[in-house]
């Protein structure tokens, strides 16, 4: 019963195969925002990135979100910055053209947020362009060597730290999600890919090892409710 949780699944999600209609993708963007509010990505971000910015007392800062989806987390950062009287420069990177458009559309009224189409493995920015680089629910889409490459690229463009939020591969998380998926999720991509995302994701030691293999300095893994892992690390160790 639990064999499928021992190692990361390599089965591709519909979203990675391009196996979806435009209507399904639009519906996924909308419904995913609601699911993320329920399941804690925003809170994980507040407890990691925003807590770090407050700790070092930055009054102005910049963040790039790679694989930003519709930019929901960037809007969380922007709202917090406004509430705490800070100046933020926020950039969402998406390879998918519709997602890049969604960042701009959903972020109307947030002049501090911009969208860029780009490849997460070859970001169109110079070294240390941003204070922080983040990504959420993105790394599990790649095999281990791809995750390591992505972590190095995030570190390259971040002058301070990187924060990576992803799923904890755990039976409780999987069976909880599949249960609520059958009951409440109407979008096929979100229902089926969401369950597979958990099987493609990580155990804490696996994510720690990938960060170390990527050469990140002092990587730290924290668990956040419900079944989220947050990797934070400083710059790549210079050899």
Average pLDDT, the chain: 94
% pLDDT > 70, the chain: 97
CA distance 89 to 176: 37
- Output b/e per residue, 107-122; b: 16+ Cβ within 10 A: beebebbbbbebebee
pTM, whole model, 2 decimals?
0.92
CA-closest candidate to residue 231, choices 45, 7, 51: 45
Q: Give the pLDDT band (50/70/90) at residue 238.
A: low
Q: In the sheet where 113-117 sits, what is the strand order?
A: 113-117, 87-94, 60-66, 130-136, 158-167, 228-233, 220-224
Q: Cα torsion at 184, 189, 175, 210 (round to 10°)? A: -140
Please give the pLDDT value at position 1: 62
Element (H, E) at 39: helix 22-39
Q: CA torsion angle for 224, 184, 196, 47 (degrees, to 10)?
A: -20
Query: Of 136, 149, 165, which Cα lies nearest the Cα of 236?
Result: 149
Instruction: Give the pLDDT of residue 76.
Output: 96
Model confidence at 209: pLDDT above 70: yes
Q: What is the pLDDT of residues 154-206, one digit of tens each?
A: 999 999 999 999 999 999 999 999 998 888 888 999 999 999 999 999 999 99
User: Rounded mean pLDDT of 22-46?
Assistant: 83
All structural domains of the chain, each given as residue ranges with its CATH number in brackets, are 3-233 (3.40.50.150)
């Amino acid at each position: 019963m639990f064999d499928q949780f021992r190692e990361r699944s390599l089965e591709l999600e519909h979203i990675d195969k391009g196996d979806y209609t435009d209507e399904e993708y639009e519906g996924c963007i909308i419904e995913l925002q609601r699911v993320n509010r329920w399941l804690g990505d925003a809170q994980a971000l507040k407890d990691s990135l925003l807590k770090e910015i407050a700790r070092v007392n930055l009054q102005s800062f910049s963040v790039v979100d790679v694989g930003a989806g519709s930019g929901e987390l960037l809007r969380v950062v922007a709202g917090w910055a406004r509430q705490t009287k800070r100046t933020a420069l926020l950039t969402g990177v998406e390879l998918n053209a519709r997602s890049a458009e969604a960042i701009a559309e959903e972020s109307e009224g947030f002049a501090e947020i911009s969208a860029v189409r780009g490849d997460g493995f070859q970001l169109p920015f110079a070294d240390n362009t941003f204070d922080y680089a983040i990504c959420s629910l993105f790394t599990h889409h790649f095999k281990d060597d791809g995750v390591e490459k992505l972590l190095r690229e995030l570190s390259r463009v971040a002058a301070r730290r990187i924060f990576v939020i992803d799923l904890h591969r755990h039976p409780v998380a999987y069976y909880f999600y599949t249960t609520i998926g059958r009951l409440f999720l109407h979008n096929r991509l979100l229902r089926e890919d969401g369950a597979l995302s958990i099987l493609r994701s990580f155990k804490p030691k696996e994510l720690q090892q990938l960060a170390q293999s990527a050469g990140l300095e002092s990587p730290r893994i924290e668990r956040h409710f419900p079944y989220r892992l947050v990797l934070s690390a400083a710059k790549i160790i210079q050899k």
